[in-house]
């Protein structure tokens, strides 16, 4: 019912341009896996290779353990969903859903029964006899998913399916998609440039830049322990400080900067490479007295109320902007603009990271 997908050292070249660069990933049966990255990083190219619309230049793709080289899209157990749904406007919803079954010679009563079952699955019972024009954007999206599921694929490939919807609906559909995936147990490979979507829905995320998979991990790990500056910056906000790392001990290293000596975590892979210090605004604390470590004197330049938190921008003596976030839990004192404070952060909450891995 669901299949795993392996990419083994897969490259895809368009002429002299390498769109996917040595991608290796092992997606488990029944997993909700997302590829996350900016536009042009190679996400759609990966999906098109899995679905069989293009062949890799090199490397192997396996679906359910089988090398799929040379298999045409309709010979693969995959279904593809895009942003443009291409539903048939002159057919009722149930016929839209059952279209693929008709092509396979399933009789009308069985098609109708399957369509109704799938409409219940995507939470649209009673929509069978409606026309496409009577549905909202989110409902049409569900019909497209039901139609893709009708032919019982082992793998669903979703290419930015929510990007045409408005924000509220998009957030609602995240939970819906996740629930549908869990109910069916089908492997979902989801593509998005929206970090919120990827983190909220996925079992694991592969973060991509310039054709390279930078990190594969569960959402918490991606956010809390990004492997490089690209992942840290693409997923969430950071204060980024330039400097030079000293020797490491116990996973921490000193870091020489224009703001003075700082200290942060460093991973074995980053040792000996040029690094920058990354610390998230929510881990940057503002105090009147200097904190015990990593305390930088700053002046408050901007305070904005964001609802759940208060965003504070500060400037160091060297003119560098450091952002802090204060939780709006009633206990926080909101600093005044012009206040002279210390921005500090624990060494454990800051990381010395190299830049992204780029095309070799
Ligand atoms: N058929 C093609 N011919 C030439 N270049 C292509 C083709 N398809 C994609 N590309 C290029 O490959 C890169 C990756 O594209 P794509 O996989 O669509 O990125 P994403 O989906 O992450 O936005 C882009 O620079 C794009 O212009
Ligand atoms: Mg794309």
Each as own residue / partner, the long-range contacts of residues 63-68 (CB below 8 Å, 24 or more positions apart, any chain) are 63/3, 63/4, 63/5, 63/154, 63/155, 64/3, 64/4, 64/29, 64/154, 65/3, 65/4
pLDDT digits (tens, 9 = 90+) for 9-54: 999 999 999 999 999 999 999 999 999 999 999 999 999 999 999 9
Q: What is the mean pLDDT of residues 237-263?
A: 96
**CA–centroid distance for 61 within its chain:** 22
The number of the ligand 1 atom at minimal distance from the alpha carbon of 159 is: 21
pLDDT at 359: 60
- Under the banding of pLDDT at 50, 70 and 90, the label for residue 136 is confident
pLDDT at 90: 87
Q: Report the pocket of ligand 1 as residue ranges, CB < 6 Å.
A: 14, 17, 19, 37, 39-45
For the domain made up of 237-353, give the CATH fold.
OB fold (Dihydrolipoamide Acetyltransferase, E2P) (2.40.50)
Question: From the CA of 36, which ligand is nearest?
Answer: 1
pLDDT at 358: 66
**Domain 5-230: homologous superfamily in CATH:** P-loop containing nucleotide triphosphate hydrolases (3.40.50.300)
Q: Rounded distance, CA 231 to CA 208, Å? A: 8
CA-nearest residue for atom 12, ligand 1, is 19
Residue to probe by mutation, ligand 1, list 19, 50, 359, most atoms within 8 Å of CB: 19
What ranges do the domains of the chain cover? 5-230, 237-353
Ion ligand 2 — residues with CB < 5 Å: 44
- Under the banding of pLDDT at 50, 70 and 90, the label for residue 360 is low
Give residues with Cβ within 8 angstroms of 93, minimum separation 6: 115, 119, 124, 127, 128, 129, 130, 131, 132, 135, 143
Residue to probe by mutation, ligand 1, list 10, 40, 163, most atoms within 8 Å of CB: 40
3-state helix, strand, coil in the chain (%, to 5): 30, 35, 35
pLDDT at 191: 96
Chain position carrying tokens 């008709």 = 102
Q: What is the mean pLDDT of the chain?
A: 93
Q: Which of 179, 155, 119 is nearest to 111 (CA)?
A: 119
- Under the banding of pLDDT at 50, 70 and 90, the label for residue 145 is confident
pLDDT digits (tens, 9 = 90+) for 50-87: 999 999 999 999 999 999 999 999 899 999 887 666 78
Neighbours of 73 (CB within 10 A): 13
Q: Rounded distance, CA 45 to CA 43, Å? A: 5
Q: Is the pLDDT at 139 greater than 70, yes or no?
A: yes
pLDDT at 166: 80
Q: What is the mean pLDDT of residues 112-121?
A: 92
Tell which wins on pLDDT, 264 or 148. 264
What is the Å distance from ligand 1's center to 36 Cα?
15
Q: What is the mean pLDDT of residues 116-122?
A: 90
Neighbours of 120 (CB within 10 A): 12
Q: What is the mean pLDDT of residues 138-154?
A: 88
pTM as predicted: 0.91
pLDDT above 70 as % of the chain: 98
Q: Rounded distance, CA 78 to CA 160, Å? A: 16
The number of the ligand 1 atom at minimal distance from the alpha carbon of 12 is: 12
What is the Å distance from ligand 1's center to 138 Cα?
28
Q: What is the mean pLDDT of residues 269-296?
A: 93
Q: Is the pLDDT at 116 greater than 90, yes or no?
A: yes
Question: From the CA of 20, which ligand is nearest?
Answer: 1
pLDDT digits (tens, 9 = 90+) for 184-221: 999 999 999 999 999 999 999 999 999 999 999 999 99
CA-nearest residue for atom 2, ligand 1, is 14
What is the Å distance from ligand 2's center to 34 Cα?
13
């Amino acid at each position: 019912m669901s299949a795993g997908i392996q990419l083994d050292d897969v490259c895809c070249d368009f002429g002299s341009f390498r769109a996917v660069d040595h991608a290796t990933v092992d997606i488990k049966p029944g997993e909700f896996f997302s590829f996350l990255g900016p536009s042009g990083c190679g996400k759609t190219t990966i999906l098109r290779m899995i679905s069989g619309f293009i062949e890799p230049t090199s490397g192997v793709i396996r679906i359910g353990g089988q090398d799929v080289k040379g298999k045409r899209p309709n010979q693969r157990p995959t279904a593809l969903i895009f942003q443009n749904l291409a539903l048939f406007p002159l057919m009722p919803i149930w016929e839209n859903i059952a279209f693929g079954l008709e092509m396979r010679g399933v009789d009308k009563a069985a098609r109708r029964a399957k369509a109704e079952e799938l409409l219940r699955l995507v939470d649209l019972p009673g929509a069978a006899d409606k026309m496409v024009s009577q549905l909202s954007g989110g409902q049409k999206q569900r019909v497209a998913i039901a139609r893709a599921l009708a032919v019982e694929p082992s793998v669903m490939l979703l290419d930015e399916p929510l990007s045409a919807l408005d924000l509220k609906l998009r957030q609602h559909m995240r939970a819906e998609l996740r629930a549908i995936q869990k109910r069916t147990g089908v492997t979902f490979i989801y593509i998005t440039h929206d970090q919120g979507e990827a983190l909220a829905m996925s079992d694991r995320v592969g973060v991509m830049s310039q054709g390279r998979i930078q990190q594969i991990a569960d959402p918490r790990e991606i956010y809390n322990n990004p492997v490089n500056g690209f992942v840290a910056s693409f997923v969430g906000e950071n204060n980024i400080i330039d400097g030079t790392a000293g020797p490491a001990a116990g996973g921490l290293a000193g870091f020489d900067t224009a703001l003075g000596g700082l200290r942060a975590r460093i991973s074995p892979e980053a040792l000996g490479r040029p690094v920058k210090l990354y610390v998230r605004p929510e881990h940057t604390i503002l105090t009147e007295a200097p904190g015990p470590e990593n305390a930088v004197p700053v002046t408050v330049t901007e305070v904005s109320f964001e609802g759940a938190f208060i965003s504070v921008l500060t400037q160091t003596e060297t003119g560098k902007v450091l952002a802090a976030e204060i939780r709006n839990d009633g206990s926080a004192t909101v600093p005044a603009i012009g206040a002279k404070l210390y921005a500090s952060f624990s060494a454990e909450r800051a990381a010395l990271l190299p830049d992204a891995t780029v095309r070799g």
